[in-house]
C-alpha cells in the first residue's frame, strides 16, 4: 500500500494506483472529460490536472501514479485557472447549439463550463461545421460538436469493431471512418456504445418520436407499445431516480398517458424465445445439428457475426429476437383473434438498444415492427407529455399479454438468456426436480463458463458480453481450445441493461458506480420475487401454443418466429 494526502486527507491505496484512484477513495472529486472507467484512460483532455509533490508542473490525475508521502492539491488557483482555460479552448471549436442539443442538461462539457464559470467566447468561435452523418438507421454523428476526447473510438475498439478513429493531425484532426465513409457503409454493428461513451452531443440515436406521436394522433391507427425486460430497471434514471430502481408500474402508467395506446410486456416473448430456443438446442443435440448453438436475440451480435464470422451463421439459433417475435404475434395471432386489420396496427417496441432500430429494417424479419424507441426516447416523450413520472401511480400491462416469468425478465442482464434457456432445457431433460437457478452464468465477468449434467446429458455453456469478449470465445472455439454446447453473446458490456439506448448517466456516476451490477440486480430481484420462474410456466405462452402455434418448432412457429441470416461485407 502507498500512503499519501489529497487536499490534506490521508489515504492509502495499492501500489500502481493513480491519483484519480486515490481521490475516489478520499471522496475528492477531480473532473474528467476524456477519461471513462473501463473504456479509456489516456490523459489527453487535461481536465484532471492537479498539483503533486515531486512533479514538475501540473500532472494528469487519471494517469499519474501515486508515490509514498505524495501530497496532492486538486483545487488551487493554478489548477482552477488551468481547467477553466481548457474548457474555454474546447468551447472555441465546439458548435454551441446547447438549447436544442440532445445532451442539453446531461452534457459533461456543459456541466464543467458551469462549474468553472467558463466564458464560452473567450477565444472566439471557430468550429468545423461538418455535415451530419445520419444515413445509419441507428446512430447519428455530428462532428461539429465533437470535443476530440476519443472516448467513442476507445469504445468502438473495445468492441473489436474499430470503424471510427482519428484522422489527420493537430488542429485538423477529426473523428471519422475509413475513406470518409458514412457509418452505414461500414461494418458498424449499431450497438451504440459510442453514444453512451460520448460526453457531448456528437453522437446520438436517430429519433423516431415524431413518427410515434403522429401515429398516436391518427384515429385510424391502433398503437401498441411493448417494453423490453431491462427498461423497468433503467427508465427511472432519466427522471433522477437511483440506478437499479424498478419502475415497471410507473413506466406502464406513463406510456398509457401518452394517448389512446395499449402497453404489453415484451417479457412474454422473451419467454416465447426461450421455448423455441431451448427446444431448438435439444433438437440439435438429439438430431446432430450444428453446435455450439449461439443465441440470436441480440441484433448487434447477429450483425457482428454476419460481418466478421459468416462461417458461424449456421450455428446461430434461428429464433427471432423477442422484439420481432412480439410484433409477428401481434400482426398474426392477435389480429386474427380480435378481428383486426394488421395494417391498422402501429407497433412500438421500447428497447435499450440502438441496434434494434437497424433490426426493424431487416427484410428477412418481415417488417412487423413499425418503430423501435430507445429508453431515452421514451423518457423524452414522457417529459414532452408533461407527465410527473416520479409520482405517477403504478398501472398494469394490458391483457392478454401481461404476466410473464422471471426468466423472461433476466433476459436484460448478461447470462440471463442462458439461465432462462437452461431452466427450460433442464425441465425438459430432468423433469420437475430440475434446478431453477444457474448462478455460475451470472455476474459481470467478461466471459463465464459452466458445465451441467441434466437428465444424463452434459451441457457445456459459455456467456460473453461485449463483442471483444465474444471474439475471444469464437477464436477459442475455432482453434479447438474450447468445446461448448451453447453460447450466449450480448453485444453490449453487461448486456441490455448497459445498452446503447439506455439513459445518459453522468461521468461521476459511471466512474464510481458499477452500473452493470446494480441494474442487473434489479432484474434478478424481480425474478426472485416472481411466482413464475420458468418460461414454460407462463400462461400467455401456453395460450399461444394451444390456440395458435401448436408446439415449439412447429411449421407455424418456424414461419413467424424463426428467421435466417446473411453474410455481409467486412469494411
Helix and strand numbers (H, E) in the chain are: 20, 17
**Rounded-to-integer distance, Cα 294 and Cα 130, Å:** 40
* Same-domain check for residues 196 and 220: no
Predicted local confidence at residue 386, as pLDDT: 97
pLDDT confidence band for 416 (50 / 70 / 90): very high
pLDDT, tens digit (0-9, with 9 covering 90-100), for 9-41: 999 999 999 999 999 999 999 999 999 999 999
pLDDT confidence band for 273 (50 / 70 / 90): very high
* Same-domain check for residues 335 and 463: yes
Instruction: Say how many domains are in the chain.
Output: 3
Instruction: With respect to residue 411, please indicate whether it lies within any of the assigned structural domains.
Output: yes
Instruction: With respect to residue 81, please indicate whether it lies within any of the assigned structural domains.
Output: no
Instruction: With respect to residue 129, please indicate whether it lies within any of the assigned structural domains.
Output: yes
* Same-domain check for residues 70 and 104: no
Sign of CA pseudo-dihedral 515, 520, 521, 525: positive
**Rounded-to-integer distance, Cα 379 and Cα 356, Å:** 17
Helix (H) / strand (E) element for 68: namely none
* Same-domain check for residues 199 and 326: no
DSSP β-bridge partners for residue 72: 6, 52
Instruction: With respect to residue 22, please indicate whether it lies within any of the assigned structural domains.
Output: yes
DSSP β-bridge partners for residue 40: 36
pLDDT confidence band for 169 (50 / 70 / 90): confident
Instruction: With respect to residue 82, please indicate whether it lies within any of the assigned structural domains.
Output: no
Based on the number of CB atoms within 10 Å of its own CB, is 528 exposed (0-12), middle (13-18) or buried (19 or more)?
exposed
Mean pLDDT, range 426-432, rounded to an integer: 78
Widest CA span in the chain: 78
The pairing of strands 2-6 and 203-205 is unpaired
* Percent residues over pLDDT 90 in the chain: 90
How far is residue 373 from each of residues 18, 229, 370, 381, measured CA to CA in Å?
40, 14, 10, 10
**Rounded-to-integer distance, Cα 307 and Cα 302, Å:** 9
Domain with residue 195: its CATH number is 3.30.70.20
Query: In this model, does residue 513 exceed pLDDT 70?
Result: yes
Predicted model pTM: 0.94
Q: What nine digits make up the cell of 449?
A: 463458463
Predicted local confidence at residue 286, as pLDDT: 86
Single residue among 148, 174, 205 that ends a domain in this structure: 205
Catalytic annotation, residues: 277, 280, 297, 317, 356, 359, 364, 496
Instruction: With respect to residue 143, please indicate whether it lies within any of the assigned structural domains.
Output: yes
* Same-domain check for residues 21 and 105: no
The pairing of strands 457-465 and 447-454 is antiparallel
Which residue, among 404, 490, 386, 498, has the nearest Cα to 441 in the 3D structure? Answer: 490
Predicted local confidence at residue 125, as pLDDT: 84
Instruction: With respect to residue 566, please indicate whether it lies within any of the assigned structural domains.
Output: no
Mean pLDDT, range 480-495, rounded to an integer: 96
Reported for 306-315, long-range contacts at CB under 8 A and 24+ positions apart, including other chains, are: 306/565, 306/566, 306/567, 306/568, 307/187, 307/189, 307/568, 307/569, 307/570, 308/187, 308/471, 308/570, 309/474, 310/567, 310/568, 312/474, 313/565, 313/567, 314/290, 315/290, 315/291
Domain with residue 42: its CATH number is 3.10.20.740
Q: Residue 445's domain spans which residues? A: 210-561
**Rounded-to-integer distance, Cα 229 and Cα 267, Å:** 6
pLDDT, tens digit (0-9, with 9 covering 90-100), for 387-415: 999 999 999 999 988 789 999 999 999 99
Query: In this model, does residue 205 exceed pLDDT 80?
Result: yes
Helix (H) / strand (E) element for 558: namely helix 555-561
* Same-domain check for residues 218 and 198: no
Cα-Cα-Cα-Cα torsion 526, 530, 534, 537, nearest 10 degrees, comes to -150
Predicted local confidence at residue 108, as pLDDT: 97
* Same-domain check for residues 325 and 392: yes
Strand order, beta sheet including 345-351: 261-265, 222-227, 345-351, 371-374
Query: In this model, does residue 380 exceed pLDDT 80?
Result: yes
The torsion angles phi and psi of 188, rounded to 5 degrees, stand at -60, 135
The SS3 call for residue 485 is coil
* Same-domain check for residues 248 and 194: no
* Same-domain check for residues 194 and 274: no
Single residue among 205, 227, 246 that ends a domain in this structure: 205
For residue 286, count other CB atoms closer than 10 A to its CB: 9
* Same-domain check for residues 299 and 332: yes
The SS3 call for residue 24 is helix
Predicted local confidence at residue 464, as pLDDT: 98
Alpha-helix residue ranges (DSSP H) falling in 257-373 = 267-287, 299-308, 322-329, 335-337, 355-360
Instruction: With respect to residue 570, please indicate whether it lies within any of the assigned structural domains.
Output: no
How far is residue 13 from each of residues 21, 66, 89, measured CA to CA in Å?
8, 8, 34
**Rounded-to-integer distance, Cα 166 and Cα 150, Å:** 8
Query: In this model, does residue 454 exceed pLDDT 90?
Result: no
Q: What is the mean pLDDT of the chain?
A: 95
CA angle 389, 395, 398 (to 5 degrees): 130
pLDDT, tens digit (0-9, with 9 covering 90-100), for 294-306: 999 999 999 999 9
Query: In this model, does residue 479 exceed pLDDT 80?
Result: yes
**Rounded-to-integer distance, Cα 415 and Cα 464, Å:** 8
Please give the residue that has the higher pLDDT: either 230 or 171: 230
* Same-domain check for residues 164 and 215: no
Q: What nine digits make up the cell of 2?
A: 502507498
Q: What nine digits make up the cell of 137?
A: 438507421
pLDDT, tens digit (0-9, with 9 covering 90-100), for 41-82: 999 999 999 999 989 899 999 999 999 999 999 999 999 999
Query: In this model, does residue 188 exceed pLDDT 90?
Result: yes
* Percent residues over pLDDT 70 in the chain: 100
Cis peptide before 400 (omega within 30 of 0): yes
Q: Of the given ranges (154-163, 182-191, 347-356, 454-463), which has the lowest mean pLDDT?
A: 454-463
The pairing of strands 49-52 and 71-73 is antiparallel
* Same-domain check for residues 457 and 526: yes
Q: What nine digits make up the cell of 31?
A: 473532473
Q: What nine digits make up the cell of 307?
A: 460481418
Q: What nine digits make up the cell of 442?
A: 451470472
Predicted local confidence at residue 433, as pLDDT: 66
**Rounded-to-integer distance, Cα 262 and Cα 347, Å:** 10
Which residue, among 264, 281, 167, 271, has the nearest Cα to 224 in the 3D structure? Answer: 264
Q: What is the DSSP string of 165-222?
A: EEES-GGG-EEE-GGG--GGGTT-----HHHHH-SSSSEEEPP-HHHHHHHHH-TT-E
Single residue among 205, 238, 265 that ends a domain in this structure: 205
Amino acid at each position: 500500500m502507498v500512503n499519501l494526502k489529497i487536499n490534506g486527507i490521508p489515504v492509502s491505496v495499492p501500489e500502481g494506483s493513480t491519483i484519480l484512484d486515490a481521490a475516489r477513495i478520499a471522496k475528492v472529486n477531480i473532473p474528467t472529460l476524456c477519461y471513462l472507467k473501463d473504456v479509456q484512460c489516456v490523459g489527453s483532455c487535461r481536465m484532471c490536472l492537479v498539483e503533486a509533490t515531486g512533479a514538475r508542473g501540473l500532472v494528469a490525475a487519471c494517469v499519474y501514479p501515486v508515490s509514498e508521502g505524495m501530497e496532492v492539491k486538486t483545487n488551487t488557483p493554478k489548477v482552477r485557472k488551468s481547467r477553466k482555460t481548457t474548457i474555454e479552448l474546447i468551447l472555441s471549436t465546439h458548435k454551441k447549439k446547447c438549447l436544442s442539443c440532445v445532451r442539453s442538461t446531461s452534457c459533461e462539457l456543459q456541466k464543467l463550463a458551469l462549474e468553472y464559470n467558463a466564458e464560452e467566447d473567450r477565444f472566439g468561435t471557430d468550429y468545423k461545421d461538418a455535415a451530419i452523418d445520419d444515413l445509419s438507421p441507428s446512430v447519428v454523428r455530428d462532428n461539429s460538436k465533437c470535443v476530440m476526447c476519443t472516448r467513442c473510438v476507445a469504445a468502438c475498439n473495445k468492441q473489436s469493431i474499430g470503424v471510427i478513429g482519428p484522422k489527420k493531425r493537430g488542429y485538423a484532426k477529426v473523428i471519422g471512418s475509413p475513406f470518409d465513409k458514412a457509418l452505414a457503409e461500414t461494418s458498424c454493428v449499431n450497438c451504440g456504445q459510442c453514444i453512451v461513451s460520448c460526453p457531448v452531443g456528437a453522437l446520438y440515436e436517430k429519433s423516431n418520436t415524431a413518427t410515434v406521436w403522429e401515429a398516436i394522433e391518427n384515429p385510424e391507427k391502433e398503437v401498441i407499445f411493448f417494453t423490453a425486460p431491462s427498461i423497468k430497471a433503467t427508465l427511472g434514471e432519466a427522471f433522477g431516480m437511483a440506478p437499479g430502481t424498478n419502475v415497471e408500474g410507473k413506466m406502464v402508467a406513463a406510456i398509457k398517458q401518452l394517448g389512446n395506446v395499449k402497453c404489453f410486456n415484451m417479457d412474454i416473448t422473451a419467454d416465447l424465445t426461450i421455448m423455441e430456443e431451448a427446444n431448438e438446442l435439444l433438437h440439435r443435440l438429439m438430431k446432430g445439428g450444428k453446435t455450439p448453438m449461439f443465441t440470436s436475440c441480440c441484433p448487434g451480435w447477429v450483425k457482428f457475426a454476419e460481418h466478421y464470422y459468416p462461417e458461424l451463421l449456421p450455428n446461430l439459433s434461428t429464433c427471432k429476437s423477442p422484439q420481432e417475435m412480439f410484433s409477428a404475434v401481434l400482426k398474426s395471432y392477435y389480429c386474427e383473434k380480435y378481428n383486426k386489420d394488421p395494417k391498422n396496427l402501429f407497433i412500438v417496441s421500447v428497447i435499450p438498444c440502438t441496434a434494434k432500430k437497424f433490426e426493424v429494417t431487416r427484410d428477412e424479419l418481415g417488417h412487423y415492427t413499425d418503430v423501435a424507441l430507445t429508453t431515452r426516447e421514451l423518457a423524452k416523450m414522457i417529459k414532452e407529455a408533461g407527465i410527473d413520472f416520479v409520482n405517477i401511480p403504478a398501472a398494469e400491462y394490458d391483457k392478454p399479454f401481461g404476466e410473464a416469468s422471471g426468466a423472461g425478465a433476466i433476459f436484460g442482464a448478461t447470462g440471463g438468456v442462458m439461465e432462462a434457456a437452461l431452466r427450460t432445457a433442464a425441465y425438459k431433460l430432468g423433469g420437475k426436480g430440475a434446478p431453477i437457478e444457474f448462478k455460475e452464468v451470472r455476474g459481470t465477468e467478461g466471459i463465464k463458463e459452466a458445465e451441467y449434467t441434466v437428465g444424463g446429458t452434459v451441457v457445456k455453456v459459455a456467456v460473453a458480453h461485449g463483442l471483444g469478449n465474444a471474439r475471444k470465445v469464437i477464436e477459442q472455439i475455432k482453434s479447438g481450445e474450447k468445446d461448448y454446447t451453447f453460447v450466449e453473446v450480448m453485444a453490449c458490456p453487461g448486456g441490455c441493461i448497459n445498452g446503447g439506448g439506455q439513459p445518459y448517466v453522468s461521468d461521476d456516476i459511471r466512474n464510481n458506480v458499477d452500473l452493470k451490477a446494480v441494474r442487473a440486480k434489479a432484474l434478478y430481484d424481480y425474478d426472485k420475487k416472481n411466482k413464475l420462474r420458468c418460461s414454460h410456466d407462463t400462461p400467455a405462452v401456453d395460450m399461444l401454443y394451444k390456440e395458435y402455434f401448436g408446439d415449439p418448432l412447429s411449421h407455424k412457429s418456424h414461419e413467424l418466429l424463426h428467421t435466417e441470416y446473411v453474410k455481409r461485407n467486412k469494411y
